């Protein structure tokens, strides 16, 4: 039996929203581009360039964490009414499993483990161009009330 999952996203959000809110941020600076949104996942790519590599000319572990947090933070914020709430990172971990070569592109996919009223937990898988796991990460997000605008 094929059952299509119900969308987790706040009504009206699109990939264009994801890329628009990334302008002038670290997400844009390292070349992250949101590429796909499913009913229960968000996907992006990031090039392995001089901005994201370490001296050995492979993907820097910190860049993997930037991708993971940028991806999951964006996803988490797309599940709440952003005019009233925001999801902010509380804890993140990452396991680096294999290198990604300079000049390649990695792809990250975030899926929720838990979406609650006050917290969210997301899992992120980062793969290389051959779909091999480069990094797995988990992030806990706090859902906070946004200050009213005056």
Question: Which of 112, 109, 119 has its CA nearest to residue 9?
Answer: 112
Among 69, 125, 129, 145, the one annotated catalytic: 69
129 labelled catalytic: no
Please spell the DSSP secondary structure of the chain, one letter per residue.
---PPPP-SPTT--HHHHHHHTTTSHHHHTT-EEEEE-SS-EEEEEE-STTTB-TTSBB-HHHHHHHHHHHHHHHHHTTS-TTTEEEEEEEEEEEE-S--BTT-EEEEEEEEEEE-SSEEEEEEEEE-TTS-EEEEEEEEEEEEEPPPP-
Residues involved in catalysis: 69
């Amino acid at each position: 039996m094929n059952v299509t999952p119900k969308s987790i996203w706040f009504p009206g959000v699109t990939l264009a929203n994801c890329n628009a809110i990334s302008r002038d941020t670290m997400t844009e600076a390292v070349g992250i581009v949101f590429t796909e949104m499913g009913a229960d996942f968000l996907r992006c790519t990031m090039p392995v360039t001089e901005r994201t590599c370490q001296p050995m000319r492979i993907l820097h572990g910190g860049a993997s964490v930037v991708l993971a947090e940028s991806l999951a933070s964006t996803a988490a914020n797309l599940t709440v009414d952003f005019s009233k709430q925001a999801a902010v990172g509380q804890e993140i971990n990452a396991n680096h499993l294999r290198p990604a070569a300079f000049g390649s592109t990695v792809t990250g996919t975030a899926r929720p483990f838990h979406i609650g009223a006050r917290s969210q937990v997301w899992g992120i898988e980062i793969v290389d161009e051959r779909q091999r796991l480069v990094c797995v990460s988990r992030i806990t997000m706090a859902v906070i009330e946004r200050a009213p605008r005056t």
